[in-house]
Amino acid sequence: MSTQISLSSQPTLLLKNLQLVESPRWHDGQLWFSDWMAQELRTVDLTGNSELISKVSSFPFCFDWLPDGQLLVVSGREAKLLRMKTDGTLAPHIDLSGLSTHPWNEIVVDGRGNTYINNSGFNFPQAEFAPGFIVLVRPDGSVEQVADGVAFPNGMVVTPDNSTLILAESYGNCLTAFDIA
């Protein structure tokens, strides 16, 4: 089954002079994204108005929202999951440093508030490849490894019914689906 979408004959440039854009997410009428090299979390609307949300002194960093609207940010090399406070500052939420010395990467939050974060398993791009893994951070703050042996875990999504986590394995050249409880 394929879906046809209508594209305008002329694309609209929303924002330029970006460096390394990752983690695009549509939220509250705006496109949110990370610019890894600039260490910025930004938004842009469809008219090109952009706002700097936060500076994040880590590489990589990705983000998602809890069901109550709180923004979570993965500070990859610092091995921290941060939460944005109401004043816009980032505060520690969960320390991941005891789980791996390698960088943390992508994040996705399901509709129940369970947060999935993946770890590359090696110091990309300097070190030789090694398999990565995924952890689950529950709303009560407990952390558990839920998958391993994945070939450079990258983008993730949870299906709308909260039953399946889908992972892009960049070095595996595949999408892998995991049943979740």
> Within its chain, how far is the Cα of 58 from the centroid?
13
Please say if the pLDDT value at position 47 is more than 80.
yes
**Domain definitions of the chain by residue range:** 21-179
Strand duo 71-75 + 80-84: pairing: antiparallel
Q: To the nearest whole percent, how much of the chain has pLDDT over 90?
A: 77
Query: How much is the pLDDT for 58?
Result: 78
Please say if the pLDDT value at position 173 is more than 70.
yes
Query: How much is the pLDDT for 46?
Result: 94
The string of DSSP codes covering 7-59 is --SS------S-S-EEEEEEETTEEEEEETTTTEEEEE-TT--EEEEEE--SS
Please say if the pLDDT value at position 3 is more than 70.
no
Q: What is the arithmetic mean of pLDDT over 148-156?
A: 94
pLDDT digits (tens, 9 = 90+) for 81-119: 999 999 999 999 999 999 999 989 999 999 999 999 999
Q: For residue 161, what pLDDT band results from cuts at 50, 70 and 90?
A: very high
What is the spatial distance between Cα 24 and Cα 106, in angstroms, rounded to a whole number?
11
CATH class given for the domain over 21-179: mainly beta
